[in-house]
Amino acid sequence: MLCHLFLSLLSSFFSKFADKAKKRFEVPIEVPLPPAESPPDTEYSIDFVNEPQFGVLVKRNDTETVIFDTNIPGMLFSEQYIQISTRLASSNVYGFGEHTTAAYKHETNWKKWSLFARDSSTDSSSNLYGVHPFYMNIENDGRAHGVFLMNSNAMEVILQPAPALTFRTVGGILDFYIFLGPSPEDVVKQYLEVIGLPGMPPYWALGFQLSRRGYGTIEEVKAVTQRTEKAEIPYDVQHLDIDYMNNYKDFTFDEKRYANLPTFVDDLHAKGRKVVIVLDPAIASNKTLESNYPALDVGINRDVFIKVNGTYLEGTSWPGKAYFPDFSHPEVRPYWTQMCTEFRKSVRFDGLWIDMNEPSNFADGSLSGCSKNTLNYPPYGAGVLGSKLDGKLFEKTLCMDSVHHAGKHYDVHNLHSYYQANVTYRTLAIIIPGNRPMVLSRSTFPGSGRFVSHTLGENLSTWEQLRASIPGILKFNLFGIPFVGADICGFALNATEELCLRWMQLGAFYPFSRNHNSLNSKDQDPASFGKAFIDSVSKALYTRYELLPYLYTLFHLAHTEGSTVARPLLHEFPNDKVTWDISYQFLWGPALLISPIVEQIMGLKVAAILDFIPPF
């Protein structure tokens, strides 16, 4: 094993553990390189120890607090299993994702978290849509540091009461970046100097947005927009889910159910509103439904689809049988730009929502299964959802031995959404020149915030999920994706009037504010409720609009300096230990405290609630 230790800034450095005898996969994302020589004065010191085994010990010079110490028995470095542990400075650990958690601070009582991009419901503690192997540790004196493992393979982290932390990954190398802070905001800034600063959203994208899966016809969309206008509820953006498509195929629209869609979009533009449409990464491969499908034909001509054993991997998704573009392929950018350009000639969308991009596959691996090898059935499955019963790593995604331009799917699975985000962002910059792109992504990886905003995924209409949305938003600000929000009022199930009221009041202060629900759920857009509900929600939304200049300024600071937008109280008051455990209050920047109501009040109707307690 080879260990490289690179000193960089006064308050950060990185360490790389690799195999000296064999070239192993490394994440092919460029990051800033440190100086060739270490600076003369640093805030830390480094010791190498050999007993009981080789290890690296990093501590602060002034307080002698140990912040990284791998001199713990159990370090392993094999072909498909790498393990390393470090002692923690305290049990105050934040970060790691993507998962649904009830609190912002992690438990350290042997808690395991799997990191592997997965299409799944948020109603579990399993691995979800994105992968972020980054954590922040608040030391006992209130100082903060962060640790980032640049590795795109499936992994598992185990938090232990020592306190300590163990990383286990199925491949790649151990490429650690350590950030000395000393404040929480300093940690975020230093981390973003490595992975990239967040993109600057267009101003219109900060407005309230409406969406749902289940607008069966264009008339249903019109009805929602009309009743929202009549109720004088402010909103700026209308989303269109896969309902608008012809047989759920990208770059098409149903000319029967969504007749005159181009005209409808133009009408929304005339009223000052914007339109965001969804695109999934699965391209229909079944040509019997339609003799000419350019997205398929051009993709084949450019040879941009992911292959397995030399042929295109065929899975299944919303359009039925499907191929999956390889977004790391050099030909995929002109392909994606061509498809988006041609479709925008008909439907003049303003932004793109890239969904199902883990990538999600309704078949496990492919329609013909996957080969019985150690990539598809690794000896260790990192505890990911689907791997525990029969050891397969490809449940609801692609075969791990399928091939991308950037490498085997086994290595680049978690990078799929990052590559698509990059391509889609640059596509919008080309086809809508002079405008900042608006791309919303379900799946993310470190650095995705340069290109996309993020939705926390398919949550449930429950009080538990309302509460969990706050730690989720705070974690993604820590991850460098500050333009984030949960589906307001919940995606699945039916939101009660009281729950939706409180969620709309909370959601008015999500950085990304969108009400979105599912196919079989009842209407939950604000205008579908009664007058008391509309009046209360309008107050919250108009307050958001009054504060938009401040919110826009916070995004500018995040984009230029690397700060958070929505932040936990501990970022402003790290020396106040009470703040270390606060999960359901948060700040916009340093100056605005949001204290939402997150509990049901005796199941009262909205009108009674308004008499019982001020709603806002």
- Over residues 528-556, the mean pLDDT reads 98
- With cut-offs at 50, 70 and 90, classify the pLDDT of residue 295: very high
Confidence at residue 9, expressed as pLDDT on a 0 to 100 scale = 44
On whether the CB atoms of residues 453 and 481 are closer than 8 A, the answer is: yes
CA dist 276 → 202, 240, 347 (Å): 13, 6, 10
Residue 221 forms part of a structural domain: no
Residue 8 forms part of a structural domain: yes
Q: Is the pLDDT of residue 538 over 90?
A: yes
Q: Is the pLDDT of residue 195 over 60?
A: yes
CATH number assigned to the domain comprising residue 85: 2.60.40.1760
Confidence at residue 125, expressed as pLDDT on a 0 to 100 scale = 86
Angle between helices 531-546 and 497-507 (to 10 degrees): 10
Report the DSSP pairing between strands 93-97 and 82-87: unpaired
- With cut-offs at 50, 70 and 90, classify the pLDDT of residue 34: low
Burial 97-120 (b: 16+ CB within 10 A, else e): bbbbbeebbbebeebebbbbbbbb
Give the domain range for residue 114.
Answer: 2-195
Provide the 3-class DSSP secondary structure of residue 501.
helix
- Over residues 23-40, the mean pLDDT reads 75
H/E run at residue 416: helix 416-431
Q: Is the pLDDT of residue 610 over 50?
A: yes
H/E run at residue 344: helix 332-344
Spot the catalytic one: 185, 280, 314, 355: 355
Confidence at residue 51, expressed as pLDDT on a 0 to 100 scale = 78
β-bridge partners, 156: 114, 168
- Over residues 523-545, the mean pLDDT reads 98
The lowest-confidence range among 116-125, 282-291, 336-345, 444-453 is 282-291
Report the DSSP pairing between strands 514-515 and 487-488: parallel
Residue 133 forms part of a structural domain: yes
Cite the DSSP H helix spans in 44-183.
Answer: none
- Over residues 83-102, the mean pLDDT reads 98
- With cut-offs at 50, 70 and 90, classify the pLDDT of residue 6: very low
Look at residues 348, 347, 299, 344 and name the one whose alpha carbon lies nearest to residue 325: 299
Residue 139 forms part of a structural domain: yes
Q: Is the pLDDT of residue 8 over 50?
A: no
- Convert the pLDDT of each residue in 472-517 to its tens digit: 999 999 999 999 999 999 999 999 999 999 999 999 999 999 999 9
- Convert the pLDDT of each residue in 226-237 to its tens digit: 999 999 999 999
Residue 152 forms part of a structural domain: yes
Residue 498 forms part of a structural domain: no
- Convert the pLDDT of each residue in 37-85 to its tens digit: 556 678 899 998 887 777 899 999 999 999 999 999 889 999 999 999 9
Confidence at residue 608, expressed as pLDDT on a 0 to 100 scale = 59
Q: Is the pLDDT of residue 5 over 50?
A: no
Spot the catalytic one: 119, 156, 175, 358: 358
Q: Is the pLDDT of residue 290 over 60?
A: no
Residue 137 forms part of a structural domain: yes
Q: Is the pLDDT of residue 2 over 60?
A: no
Q: Which two tokens stand for residue 449?
A: 């915030």
Which amino acid is located at 264 in the chain? F
Reply yes or no on whether 358 is catalytic: yes
Q: Is the pLDDT of residue 4 over 50?
A: no
Confidence at residue 36, expressed as pLDDT on a 0 to 100 scale = 53
On whether the CB atoms of residues 565 and 556 are closer than 8 A, the answer is: no
Distance in angstroms (rounded) separating the CA atoms of residues 50 and 46? 14
- With cut-offs at 50, 70 and 90, classify the pLDDT of residue 22: confident
Distance in angstroms (rounded) separating the CA atoms of residues 70 and 137? 16
The lowest-confidence range among 68-82, 284-298, 546-560 is 284-298
Distance in angstroms (rounded) separating the CA atoms of residues 583 and 257? 44
Q: Which two tokens stand for residue 563?
A: 């700060």
Confidence at residue 612, expressed as pLDDT on a 0 to 100 scale = 47
Burial of 520 (0-12, 13-18, 19+ CB in 10 A): exposed
The lowest-confidence range among 157-171, 428-442, 537-551, 602-616 is 602-616
- Look over the chain and give the mean of its residue pLDDT values, rounded to a whole number: 94
Residue 213 forms part of a structural domain: no
Look at residues 462, 551, 459 and name the one whose alpha carbon lies nearest to residue 510: 551
